[in-house]
Structure 1
Amino acid sequence: MTQAAATTPASVQSFVDACRAAIGAAHVLTDPHDTAPFLTDWRRRYTGAACAVLNPSNAQEVAALVKLAVEHGIALVPQGGNTGLVGGATPDASGHQAVLTLRRLNRVRDIDPHNNTITVEAGVVLAEVQARAADAGRLFPLSLAAEGSCTIGGNLATNAGGTGVLRYGNTRELCLGLEVVTPQGELWDGLRGLRKDNTGYDLRDLFIGAEGTLGIITAAVMKLHPQPAAQVTALAALASPHAALDFLALAQRMAGPLLTGFELMSDFCLRLVGRHFPQLRYPFADTHPQVVLLELSDSESEAHARALFEQLMEAALEAGIVDDAVVAESLAQSQAFWDLREHIPLAQAEEGLNIKHDIAVPISRIGHFIDETDAAIAQALPGVRMVTFGHLGDGNLHYNVQAPEGVDAKGFLAEHQGPINQIVYDSVHRHRGSISAEHGLGQLKIDEAAHYKSDLEVRLMQAVKHALDPLNLMNPGKVLR
């Protein structure tokens, strides 16, 4: 990869001074107390250094800062809500990179109910997009645990998934157009709210999921959907992931597009939640190896959705697919069901450090993947505890490994993360899956991605990077070496 000329203390200081002149000294942070929140990732796995944290207010200021970075040979690390899980928005330790936060680009530019679109800047928090859509009588279906702090720019940069992918798709499927500052400081206006546009290469999709390595997303046109008349939630207890797959097939056949959520949770996941959050009550009298949370979003009525749920559960129980089931009788109970699912990562954190995997395999292979990989890990490290949960409807598992009871979690992580990663990723590869389903690669998974991708695929990615960012100033050290 071509590099810019080596930075020097003089060039760094010259760059910082030029940024102050461009966007105002108050928005160029250099004091360690002010920059600290921007230099450590959410999991506190990586901490870097930066010559400055730049806080522009609009796309034109972003473009001006990129031009200054090119002029002075300074690499930029774009950052949204800093909620990523792979270190993709954290600078290196050199102190020669600058963090460019998009938080002040926080305006909703337009809502078009007839076109079912909302145009938002990159720094708008996801929950705000959801709320503004609801005010207009529409639904923005992207939903994930960090929605109160993550930003739409970060969601696009990582192609975030979440709980609604089964029905609505990843962030990529929810985006119609982008505004992007290129690595040369030019501003591309691709904010077209079109569902059909066959006029050449799809530049929009090139930037989505690129983690800021090809340019800086400053705004986007996102799809909206009609608000459902009712949402009904249920929990179903099952004997195995294989039974869960049979239940998914039945639910899709009977509910079709009304099925908007299908989340798998192992018994140990729920026991972990109960241990650390005892107010979240286990919903069944007996324990079960697997529990599925499913949700129907109905455009007709709650009564229609409940009737369909009853038919589905009756069919599943009669077929022996489901062992027990409970349907939420109120919004509060529905929220309690979702709280069980959403508190699994929090319970893991309370239990101690763990080895996380955000993987995807073909839906039909999930049961076999879990059986084979659980057995391989148990043979290699007896006593480890598997925390397996995720979005079964789209093949995305959070396949995490907790240290054995009573074992020092930090020491376990340091000694065993590499071997466990290899077991998991080799199994993912055998099942023709992906080692990153919705979190991205960042700096955490660069080497693993290069190992499991073909040489041709890596070369093609490098060619795209070099063509757009020949100086390697856009978030270097992420996604690709």
Structure 2
Amino acid sequence: MTAAALTELRDCLGAGAVLTAPEDRIAYETGARYDRGRALAVLRPASTAEVAAAVRIAVRRGLHLIPQGANTGLVAGSTPDDSGAQVILSLERLKSCFEPDFDNRSLHLGAGHRLSDVNARLAPEGLFFPIDLGADPSVGGMIATNTGGARFLRYGDVRANLLGVTVVLADEAGTILTLGGPLHKNNTGVDWKQLFTGTSGAFGIIAEAVLKLHPLPGDQAAAILVPASGAAVLPLLRRMEAALGPALTAFEGMSGPAMQAALDHVPSLRDPFGGAVPDYAILAEVSTPRPGAETLLGEVLERLLEEEPDLLADARFGAHERTWALRHALSEGVKAKGRLIAFDLSFRRGDIMRFCEEMKAELPAHFPGITICDFGHIGDGGVHFNLVADPASPLATDPEQELRLRDMVFDRVVTRFGGSFSAEHAIGRKNRRWYEIYTPDAERRLSRALSAATSPAGLGAVSFA
């Protein structure tokens, strides 16, 4: 049956679009962070119609499909398990459609386009898709995980910038649905496109999208701020929001150990602190439609330094790209430091620093030898709570130790602080355990019903059962 299914898929998609050799599959089977599975095959359709045809064959032949974008996710949401029975459906060739409407400030495109390609092609027209990430994901993957990023404070997440999607359901017909479109306002029924946003591809495969575009800023300036204390971080944010309004486009927190790891492992970085890295710092960015961003930011910070020394201890200005280079190097630096155990958490903004302080006081007693290298999106309540273990320590070598650590952290996040155990990276196989623990039964029943209605044959690395 498997051989017959592969033959049928090759006849439908073309021999070069069905990969079965181990050396051809490996890049698709290997995730961005430690996860690795084994696939029966990799399908590479080039159009929405080919996606639908592949789905029809897979449903008829009983093959389970794993939709995959650029495979930059961190929770094993786009890679197969170890069974060797699942089939990866890659979106990477879904690039034939790229139709901007500059008057409407919208873009209709295939789900395989990368974020970098989208913004490079829009820049000559003075527009961009405003999701700022360290990785370079595909549009389909960004929608499936509802990506946020460093400028969420100003522009929101993918959901807030999505006008429409075309999806393929995992049913016998490989049904193609076009939901939403170029209209910015349409209240004639349920906004079904949002059912497929942030749900990891479990309800349908995103093949095309219509994105809302924004004008490129005319000028930008950034500074690295040293708050007077951890307790001063949120009051400082509120003061800057009051003074700058929507011109404040980023307010990114960076712990001292995370910054030191980046400076140690990325030689091209310039140390803005002259060797005395503070315990915590903030990258603040201002964006304006006309020149004057640096003057505006400087005036606000000068007033804060003079009038509120209990909030702001220091401010370091530098070239915009060089300042952001430190923030974007944090992930690479932390990963190079040792065995990374990463958490993608979300809180009410006022709880972020309290949570981090509690964990820094308690975790080393339970798990000796870990280094806490947190950083994240203070402006929207998100934090990448990264723990680094020595490669030879039990945490790095014993999965049960890591599981115990994750249970402790997630229980504190959800039970004590009312936070989320997955702020930006969705569920995936890595987060399935905690989805089952913390998701109410009524919500899970609803998810099962929706999955049965949209894609009864099942899709994705993790279902919402």
TM-score grouping bracket, smaller chain normalisation: over 0.9
For 1:204-231, what per-residue CA distance to the aligned partner results, in whole angstroms no more than 9, with x for missing partners? 0000111111111011000111121101
**2-side partners of 1:279 and 1:189: how far apart?**
46
1:415 is displaced (CA, Å) by 5.0
1:33 is displaced (CA, Å) by 1.5
- Residue aligned with 2:245, SS: helix
Say yes or no: does 1:300 pair with 2:285.
no
**2-side partners of 1:387 and 1:239: how far apart?**
19
1:418 is aligned to 403
Q: Which amino acid aligns with 1:80?
A: G
Say yes or no: does 1:354 pair with 2:343.
no
Q: Which amino acid aligns with 2:413?
A: V
Asked if the contact 2:259–2:330 (Cα under 8 Å) also holds between the matched residues in 1, the reply is yes
Asked if the contact 1:39–1:49 (Cα under 8 Å) also holds between the matched residues in 2, the reply is yes
**1-side partners of 2:377 and 2:180: how far apart?**
30
1:410 is displaced (CA, Å) by 6.3
1:240 is displaced (CA, Å) by 3.2
Say yes or no: does 1:480 pair with 2:464.
yes
**2-side partners of 1:281 and 1:271: how far apart?**
12
**2-side partners of 1:287 and 1:72: how far apart?**
58
Q: Which amino acid aligns with 2:333?
A: A
Say yes or no: does 1:18 pair with 2:8.
yes
Match of 1:244 among 220, 233, 236: 233
Alignment CA distance shift 1:83-1:409 (3 Å):
farther
1:398 is aligned to 384
1:154 is aligned to 141
Alignment CA distance shift 1:407-1:61 (3 Å):
closer
1:336 is displaced (CA, Å) by 1.7
> CA RMSD, aligned part only?
1.7
Give aligned pairs, total: 459
Say yes or no: does 1:123 pair with 2:107.
no
Asked if the contact 2:255–2:374 (Cα under 8 Å) also holds between the matched residues in 1, the reply is yes
1:4 is aligned to none
Asked if the contact 1:373–1:423 (Cα under 8 Å) also holds between the matched residues in 2, the reply is no
1:102 is displaced (CA, Å) by 1.0
Asked if the contact 1:178–1:204 (Cα under 8 Å) also holds between the matched residues in 2, the reply is yes
**2-side partners of 1:383 and 1:46: how far apart?**
27
Taking the TM superposition and a 5 Å limit, the aligned residue runs for 1:26-105 are: 26-50=16-40, 52-105=41-94
Match of 1:459 among 445, 449, 455: 445
**Tell me, which stretches of 5 or more residues in structure 2 are unaligned?**
none
Asked if the contact 2:347–2:420 (Cα under 8 Å) also holds between the matched residues in 1, the reply is yes
1:93 is displaced (CA, Å) by 2.3
Q: Which amino acid aligns with 2:335?
A: A
Taking the TM superposition and a 5 Å limit, the aligned residue runs for 1:119-198 are: 119-147=108-136, 150-184=137-171, 185-190=174-179, 192-198=181-187
Q: Which amino acid aligns with 1:251?
A: M
Tell which deviates more after alignment, 216-225 or 410-419.
410-419
Asked if the contact 2:9–2:18 (Cα under 8 Å) also holds between the matched residues in 1, the reply is yes
Say yes or no: does 1:312 pair with 2:297.
no
For 1:248-270, what per-residue CA distance to the aligned partner results, in whole angstroms no more than 9, with x for missing partners? 11111111101111110011111
2:454 is aligned to 468
Match of 2:374 among 376, 380, 388: 388
- Residue aligned with 2:94, SS: coil
TM-score, L = length of structure 1: 0.92
1:312 is displaced (CA, Å) by 1.5
**2-side partners of 1:413 and 1:255: how far apart?**
48
**Tell me, which stretches of 5 or more residues in structure 1 are unaligned?**
1-9
For 1:351-372, what per-residue CA distance to the aligned partner results, in whole angstroms no more than 9, with x for missing partners? 1112110000000111211122
Alignment CA distance shift 1:19-1:198 (3 Å):
same
Alignment CA distance shift 1:64-1:408 (3 Å):
same
- Residue aligned with 1:297, SS: strand
Asked if the contact 1:239–1:290 (Cα under 8 Å) also holds between the matched residues in 2, the reply is no
Tell which deviates more after alignment, 340-349 or 188-197.
188-197
1:419 is displaced (CA, Å) by 2.1
1:219 is aligned to 208
- Residue aligned with 1:323, SS: strand
For 1:366-399, what per-residue CA distance to the aligned partner results, in whole angstroms no more than 9, with x for missing partners? 1211122222213312442111100111111000
Q: Which amino acid aligns with 2:8?
A: A
**2-side partners of 1:456 and 1:160: how far apart?**
26
1:279 is displaced (CA, Å) by 3.6
Alignment CA distance shift 1:291-1:409 (3 Å):
farther
Asked if the contact 2:394–2:401 (Cα under 8 Å) also holds between the matched residues in 1, the reply is no
Q: Which amino acid aligns with 2:24?
A: D
Moved over 4 A (4+): none
1:143 is displaced (CA, Å) by 1.6
Alignment CA distance shift 1:96-1:382 (3 Å):
closer
Alignment CA distance shift 1:16-1:114 (3 Å):
same
- Residue aligned with 1:444, SS: helix
1:7 is aligned to none
1:139 is displaced (CA, Å) by 2.1
**2-side partners of 1:208 and 1:67: how far apart?**
23
1:267 is aligned to 256
**1-side partners of 2:401 and 2:327: how far apart?**
27
